[in-house]
Each structure stands twice: as C-alpha cells, then as structure tokens.
Amino acid sequence: MAQEKILSDVTEIQRQYKETQRQSWNSVAVGWQEWWQTFEKDAQRLSDHLVELAKVGSSSKVLDIATGIGEPAITAAKKVSNAGDGSGRVLATDIAPQMLSIAKQRAASLGLQKIIEFKEGDAETIDLPTSKFDAALCRWGLIYLPDLKAGLSNIHRSLVDGGRLAAAVWASPNKVPFLFLVMSTVLKETQKPPPPSGIPGPFSLADKSITESALSETGFKDIAVERANVIFTYGAPEEYTRFHQAILAPAHALLSDQSPKRKEEIWDAVTEAVKRYADNTGSVRLDNEVICFNATK
C-alpha cells in the first residue's frame, strides 16, 4: 500500500507539473507569434541538422515531439514536400495548444497543411501509432520531460525497426549565454536558488550521460553524440531583453510573485548583463552549445 501511495503521489506531481508547463507555454504564445522569426533565423541550422541526422527522405513518415511553433516539423515537411512522391507525412505534437496554433498558421502559410498533422499531448502519454514513423525529431523538448524514459519509450514504440531519433538539448549553462544570461540574472535579482538536480528545465540534460543512459535503457541502439554551435544575434541588448520578456516561460514563472515595478527593474538588469556581449555597433552575438543525440530503433 505504501508503494502504491508513493507512485500515486509521483503521478499527481507529474500531472501538476505538465499542467503548469501547458499553462506557461500557452501564456507566452502571443510573444512567440511576434518573435518567432527572430528565433528561427538563427535556429534554422539546427533544425536542418536534426533532419539530416534522422535521415528524413522524400517519402519519410516523421514524428516531431514538442514542436512548439513548428520546428523542426516544418523543416522536415519542406524536405518531404519538395522531393517526395506524395507519400511522406509529418506528425507534430506539443503539450501547449496555443503554441500548436502558431505552428498550424506557419504550416498553412507555406502550403504544408496537407503534409503536417498537429496533435496536442505530452511526449510521455500521447497516443502514437505503433511502428509508424521512419524518423523522430525533438529540438529542445526532452529537457522539459519529468519522466525522460517514459517519453523516449513512447517515441521508440512509434518508430519502425531501423527508424532514427535525432534530438538536441542545451549544454551546460556557462556554454549557453542565450539562456544563462537572463535566467541567472532573474535568479540573482529574485534571490531564488537554481532548480535542484533532476528537475526538468533548460539545462537538466547538460550531462550527456543522462540522455545516453535513458536512450539505451529504452531500447535505442547505435547511439551517437555530438556537440554543435547555435549563434543567436540581436540588434541591441534591449532587443535581447524584449525577446525574452515575450517568449521565455521559465523566466515568467520565476517572476510571477514580483510587483510590476520590480519586474521592470529585473528586466533592466538583464539588459545590463547582456551589454558586455555587444560590439561597437551595439549588436549582440551569443554563441551557444547544444548536444545532439542520434539513435536507431
């Protein structure tokens, strides 16, 4: 009975966490609607690389987990659409319906609505067809899973034999100024501790062995790991701050108990922190490391 109670408590904690995640990402969807082009102009190279690692082909059936505003699903769909025989398809999933709404709009604007299907749900529990997909993609989504193995098991079941998974996570905070600058400043200004080890978040999988072990234990093989660089650029420090004000759900969660005046002061502190990365024209360039995983069912 005691063990059942523990399992029940864990399940409830995870349910509450996922609901908080859903609400948090929905709350910044309007910001993503405004700023997605600023983000994707620099993140596109990573989407291209993941599609390449997963060996997405002209007739591939592709799964994109935690697609957010539609990447790398849209990149995969373009490849399928441009080179395919009409049989290729992409299923893009996300926990936040408002983010999916933006992804749908983007897909429709590109004429990809017949190639991409969108489905709401979290990676661990979403109902996926068994042995359906040739490739699975996940860009900065695994970091937010409370049960990484459950999510990877669900993905593994959905792949055909020989199907490939390509995923990317952030490296350690000191190698990701794009996020570390804002998150460390907010934590410092609010006098809040960083999240403890094991809690999902931007840097929760910076130790590559965690993901490697989870991939192996859920049945993946031929696991390969590489590091890549993603460069984000902004016209000025103030633009960097406005961008994160609009789109960064974890920062909003940390600031939820602050007064409007105090929030303004903290965002001003973020601007000051990023100024040291500005060149003599005021432009900001931030080099960031990601860890890419590639594995086969």
Give the range with max mean pLDDT: 3-17, 19-33, 176-190, 242-256: 176-190
Residue 135 covered by a domain: yes
* Exposed / middle / buried, residue 16 (Cβ in 10 Å: 0-12, 13-18, 19+): exposed
Q: What is the pLDDT of residues 134-145, one digit of tens each?
A: 999 999 999 999
Q: Which H or E element spans position 63?
A: strand 61-64
pLDDT (0 to 100) of residue 9: 46
Rounded Cα gap, residues 133 and 156, in angstroms: 10
Residue 124 covered by a domain: yes
Averaged pLDDT score across all residues of the chain: 93
Residue 59 covered by a domain: yes
pLDDT (0 to 100) of residue 85: 66
**Is the pLDDT assigned to residue 245 strictly greater than 50?**
yes
Q: What is the pLDDT of residues 54-75, one digit of tens each?
A: 999 988 999 999 999 999 999 9
Domain span at residue 223 reads: 2-172+198-231+289-296
Residue 94 covered by a domain: yes
pLDDT (0 to 100) of residue 81: 79
Q: What is the pLDDT of residues 195-238, one digit of tens each?
A: 777 789 899 999 999 999 999 999 999 999 999 999 999 999 99
**Is the pLDDT assigned to residue 189 strictly greater than 50?**
yes
Residue 241 covered by a domain: no
Residue 264 covered by a domain: no
Number of domains the chain contains:
1
Read off the CATH number of the domain in which 52 is found. Answer: 3.40.50.150
Residue 119 covered by a domain: yes
Task: Please give the share of the chain, as a percent, with pLDDT higher than 90.
Answer: 83
Rounded Cα gap, residues 170 and 228, in angstroms: 10
Q: What is the pLDDT of residues 99-155, one digit of tens each?
A: 999 999 999 999 999 999 999 999 999 999 999 999 999 999 999 999 999 999 999
The answer to whether 80 touches 90, Cβ cutoff 8 Å, is yes
Rounded Cα gap, residues 288 and 46, in angstroms: 12
**Is the pLDDT assigned to residue 26 strictly greater than 80?**
yes
Residue 56 covered by a domain: yes
Q: What is the pLDDT of residues 199-208, one digit of tens each?
A: 898 999 999 9
* DSSP type of residue 195: P
pLDDT (0 to 100) of residue 45: 96
